[in-house]
């Protein structure tokens, strides 16, 4: 499949790995918007939040526990951070493999 993040998972495109297990992969965003900017993705190709089905419930829960783990590893847990998943055109999603941005390491604003 011609998917950038599937190619990152299988190593065809290099990435700076932060965390990996059987179901998820996390790596540094190539264009960070904060001191910490990590992307976490399911290894299963799901195009966006709107492609999640009931059979993915365990996977999505697992991914959120991995977010917690990464937040602690990156020392984001005490001061806080943001988890973002851009969806579709108005959400400005650019890569159509479900991914969650983990952004932190500075005070974030909320202006869209």
Catalytic residues: 99
Of positions 18, 26, 27, 74, contacts ligand 5GP by CB under 6 A: 27
Binding partner selected for residue 107 from ligand 5GP, Zn ion, none, CB under the kind-specific 5 to 8 Å limit: none
Radius of gyration of the chain (CA): 14
Applying the rule CB under 6 A, the residues between 1 and 20 that interact with ligand 5GP are 4, 13, 15
The reply on whether position 56 binds ligand 5GP by CB under 6 A is no
The reply on whether position 111 binds ligand 5GP by CB under 6 A is no
Q: 79-109 as b/e, with b when 16 or more CB fall inside 10 Å? A: eebeeeebeeeeeebeeebbbbbbbbeeeee
Q: 38-57 as b/e, with b when 16 or more CB fall inside 10 Å? A: bbbbbbeebebeeeeeeebe
Closest Cα to residue 6, out of 99, 84, 100? 99
Binding partner selected for residue 6 from Zn ion, ligand 5GP, none, CB under the kind-specific 5 to 8 Å limit: Zn ion
- The residue whose two tokens read 């190619």 is 7
Of positions 31, 53, 107, 111, contacts ligand 5GP by CB under 6 A: 31
Binding site for Zn ion (CB under 5 A): 3, 5-6, 45, 97
Binding site for ligand 5GP (CB under 6 A): 4, 13, 15, 27-31, 39, 86, 92-95
């Amino acid at each position: 499949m011609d998917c950038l993040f599937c190619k990152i998972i299988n190593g065809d495109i290099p990435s700076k790995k932060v965390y990996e297990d059987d179901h998820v992969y996390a790596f540094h965003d190539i264009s960070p918007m904060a001191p910490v900017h990590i992307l976490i993705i399911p290894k299963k190709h799901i195009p966006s939040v709107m492609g999640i089905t009931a059979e993915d419930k365990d996977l999505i829960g697992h991914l959120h526990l991995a977010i917690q783990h990464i937040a602690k590893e990156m020392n984001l847990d005490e001061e806080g951070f943001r988890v973002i998943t851009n969806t579709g055109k108005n959400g400005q999603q650019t890569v159509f493999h479900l991914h969650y941005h983990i952004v932190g390491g500075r005070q974030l604003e909320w202006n869209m």
